[in-house]
Chains A and B, each alone.
Chain A
Amino acid sequence: DAKTTQPPSMDCAEGRAANLPCNHSTISGNEYVYWYRQIHSQGPQYIIHGLKNNETNEMASLIITEDRKSSTLILPHATLRDTAVYYCIVRVAPIIQGAQKLVFGQGTRLTINP
């Protein structure tokens, strides 16, 4: 699976949009971008994933550049509860039935400030 690079930490004011970047310059055509987050002392939580089109769900939006070498996770109105470590993971979606293998990088520690 392709390696990802994320800034180690970021700060954002409460109520503002938090934009978390991720570089994955060696991504292949069949590799998806996944985002998980881990709030302190909890298990990781799935946020969103995408292949090449921008994606949006109730938690966040995912913007993937046209060349797919980078992406941005957007939390539109950050709250204090969004303080967490955010992991960007690139992996191949299984083409046959089988369990997945997630390889977590170091992630970005996002702090939302009041």
Chain B
Amino acid sequence: DTEVTQTPKHLVMGMTNKKSLKCEQHMGHRAMYWYKQKAKKPPELMFVYSYEKLSINESVPSRFSPECPNSSLLNLHLHALQPEDSALYLCASSQVLGLLKDTQYFGPGTRLTVL
């Protein structure tokens, strides 16, 4: 199984709402990632978890709160978002290796619209 699943596929929320995005993988990967992708732009890294610990935060605003409850799950909690946060949110996972083959597997993304 080389699949990363993300739910929901689409999400519309108001600026005062609290919502969560969910990502799951069963490949035994111990690194998981959140990316944000605006229309016609490349993906931009937001957070990296390694062994369920936050290892990289790319200066993301606190209205985005990641959580890694176990090695298979990654959540992104959203609160008080702005319309400019509307984007495709991608989750990815990878092995944590010091050797050559360290590719990332991406999910299909959650398309978020903030009204």
Contacts and interface: CB of A to CB of B under 8 A. Distances in A.
22 contacts: A43-B4, A43-B106, A43-B107, A43-B109, A44-B90, A46-B104, A49-B100, A87-B42, A93-B100, A94-B102, A96-B98, A97-B96, A98-B55, A98-B96, A99-B48, A99-B50, A100-B31, A100-B94, A100-B104, A101-B48, A104-B42, A107-B42
Contacts of B100: 32, 49, 93
Chain A interface bracket (under 10, 10 to 19, 20 to 34, 35 or more): 20 to 34
A47 B42 CA distance: 16
B105 interface: yes
Interface of B: 4, 31, 33, 42-45, 48-50, 55-56, 90-92, 94, 96-100, 102-109
A45 interface: yes
Given A41-B108, A97-B96, A98-B50, 9 more contacts: A46-B105, A95-B98, A96-B98, A97-B97, A97-B98, A98-B55, A99-B56, A100-B94, A101-B48
Contact of A94 (B45, B49, B97, B105): B97
Name A's interface SS: loop
A106 interface: yes
Nearest to A49: B103
Contacts of A59: none
Task: Find the residue from B42, B50, B103 having the highest chain A CB count within 10 A.
Answer: B42
